[in-house]
Amino acid sequence: MTPINDDEKGYFAADAPAPADPADINQNKWIAVVSYIIFFIPLLAAKQSRFAMYHGNQGLVLLLFSIVCNIVLGFIPFIGWILLPIANLATLVLVIIGIIQAANGQIKPLPVIGSISIIKVP
C-alpha cells in the first residue's frame, strides 16, 4: 500500500478516512462541531452527510470513553481517584481537538480512540 501524503504521517490508503465532498463540509460544518457535545445531532439533522456522521461517530466514541473511564476509575480507591481527573482532562482535550477539526472541515481521527467506528458513515 502506498502512504497518503497527509503531513507525512504515513497513513495508508485503507486506514485513512474517505474524503468528504466540499459542499457537504460547508453545509454540515456546525452540525459536526455540535456532535462533540451532543453526538446524536447528526443522526437527526444530517443522516446522509459523510462529514457530519464521521464527527458524530467520533463524539459517540468519546462519550463512551468518558463514561467507561469515570465508572472504572471511580471504583478504584486512591489511584483511581488520582487518575480520574487526568482522564477527564484528556477527554476535554480530545473534545477540543475534535471541535477544531470539525470547524476547519477536516476528517482526521482523534488520537488514541479515532480508529473505533460505531456509527455507519455513508
CA distance 118 to 15: 16
Tell me the mean pLDDT per 10 residues along the chain, length 122: 45 57 89 92 88 93 95 93 94 96 93 88 77
CA distance 78 to 51: 41
DSSP 8-state class, residue 16? S
CA distance 27 to 32: 10
At residue 1's C-alpha, the angle toward residues 20 and 8, to 5°, is 65
Do 102 and 39 form a contact (C-beta atoms < 8 A)? no
Distance in angstroms between the alpha carbons of the first and the last residue of the chain = 24
- Position 20 scores a pLDDT of 74
- Position 16 scores a pLDDT of 58
- Position 15 scores a pLDDT of 52
- Position 30 scores a pLDDT of 93
Beta bridge partners of 11: 4
For 3, the 3-state DSSP assignment is: strand
Q: What is this structure's pTM?
A: 0.80
